[in-house]
């Protein structure tokens, strides 16, 4: 059975969060009447949150089904050899009306040992930021394990966190072990490993949607923090003028404007390619198969596709694949 080659769209999986808002609906055209939607999971192979195709001849099938049915043809030979029938990346749009919890993620080795899961390396692209919006990224001083534990026990963690002002177009590479949080007023695209493991360190003493304080994970987190990483600022990649935003073992991310680049030759990329529209709108085509593609939409291109065309509209697009 040959894989149908066309731009594949999925039904967004919307997540209500105590810190969420309305930008996903108002700016990215997601469909919900809720006033606290924090995340739109665009393509997910996370257990209990498996994405379902919303267009074309594969409509109604899940990402898990098509990976299992089409294997290398869909995700690429080297990707399939490494990950098998597991789709390796998770794509989201996130709206933080309020600041998220201060958190971090384990690396592959620790996540495998504790949770039989991938670790969680991620990347953020800022789509929109309110005035004075910022991210929490690491610490503002050199700190070790014992002094960090003291700040936690004395409820003083806010004093040691590094805050980074942000603007539209900034990009950030978030490695495992980095203490971080998305600040209030931020709308972003997130690319990450397929993992939902988060260790919360501090949650602003804020009740969740059920009126309860969310669990913290100090004991799990303390062994996962990379205290050296948190002081060297290498996790920043504010590259607004670069076509290539991130190169990592897990994903490569490019940014381009469809007015300048209407043709993408992907024949030498032995991987699926995902496009996320972060500004404007256009039409995306493979051979004779076309789909409208607007800000807030995400499409999956099979690895066996050779080239992709965009209309000469003014849209900004993230291009993501496994290197």
Q: What tens digit of pLDDT does each residue of 171-189 get? A: 999 999 999 999 999 999 9
Least confident of 21-25, 137-141, 273-277: 137-141
* CA dist., res. 155 & res. 62, Å (int): 44
Q: How far apart are CA 270 and CA 322, in angstroms?
A: 8
pLDDT at 219 over 60: yes
The residues near 228 (Cβ < 8 Å, ≥ 6 apart) are: none
CATH class of 13-231: mainly beta
255 pLDDT band (50/70/90 cuts)?
Answer: very high
- Work out the average pLDDT over 7-30: 97
Q: In the prediction, which pLDDT does 117 show?
A: 85
> What pLDDT does 240 receive?
55
- In this predicted structure, what is the pLDDT of residue 213? 87
What is the set of active-site residues?
Answer: 200
Q: Give residue 309's pLDDT.
A: 97
CB 243 within 8 A of CB 318: no
On whether the CB atoms of residues 119 and 174 are closer than 8 A, the answer is no
What digits encode the pLDDT tens for the residues 126-183?
A: 999 999 999 999 999 999 999 998 998 888 999 999 999 999 999 999 999 999 999 9
Given this model, what pLDDT does residue 233 score?
60
Lowest mean pLDDT among 74-78, 92-96, 257-261, 307-311: 257-261
Domain coordinates in residue numbering, the chain: 13-231, 244-321
Please, what is the average pLDDT of the chain? 93
Common-topology check for domains 13-231 and 244-321:
yes
**In CATH, 244-321 is 3.40.50.2000:** no
Closest CA to 191 of 321, 97, 18: 321
Q: Is 42 exposed, middle or buried (0-12, 13-18, 19+ CB in 10 A)?
A: buried
């Amino acid at each position: 059975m040959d894989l149908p080659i066309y731009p594949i769209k999925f039904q967004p999986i919307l997540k209500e969060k105590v810190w969420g808002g309305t930008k996903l609906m108002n700016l990215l055209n997601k469909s919900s009447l809720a006033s606290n939607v924090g995340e739109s999971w665009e393509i997910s192979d996370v257990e209990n949150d498996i994405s379902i195709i919303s267009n074309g001849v594969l409509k109604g099938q899940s990402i898990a089904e098509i990976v299992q049915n089409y294997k290398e043809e869909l995700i690429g030979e080297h990707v399939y050899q490494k990950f098998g029938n597991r789709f390796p990346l998770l794509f989201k749009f996130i709206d933080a009306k309020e600041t998220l919890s201060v958190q971090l993620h384990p690396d592959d080795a620790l996540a495998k040992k504790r949770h039989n899961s991938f670790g969680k390396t991620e990347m953020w692209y800022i789509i929109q930021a309110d005035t004075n919006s910022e991210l929490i990224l690491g610490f503002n001083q050199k700190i070790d394990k014992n002094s960090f534990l003291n700040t936690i026990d004395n409820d003083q963690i806010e004093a040691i966190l590094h805050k980074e002002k942000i603007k539209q177009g900034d990009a950030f590479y978030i490695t495992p072990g980095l203490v971080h949080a998305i600040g209030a007023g931020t709308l972003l695209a997130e690319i990450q490993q397929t993992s939902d493991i988060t260790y919360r360190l501090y949650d602003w003493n804020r009740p969740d949607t059920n009126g309860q304080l969310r669990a913290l994970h100090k004991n799990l987190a303390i062994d996962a923090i990379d205290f050296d990483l948190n002081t060297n600022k290498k996790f920043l990649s504010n590259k607004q003028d670069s076509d290539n935003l991130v190169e990592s073992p897990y994903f490569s991310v490019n940014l381009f404007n469809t007015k300048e680049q209407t043709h993408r030759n992907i024949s030498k990329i032995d991987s699926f390619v995902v496009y996320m529209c972060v500004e404007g709108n256009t039409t995306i085509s493979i051979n004779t198969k076309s789909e409208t593609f607007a800000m807030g939409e995400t499409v999956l291109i099979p690895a066996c596709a050779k080239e992709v065309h965009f209309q000469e509209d003014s849209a900004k697009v993230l291009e993501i694949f496994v290197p």
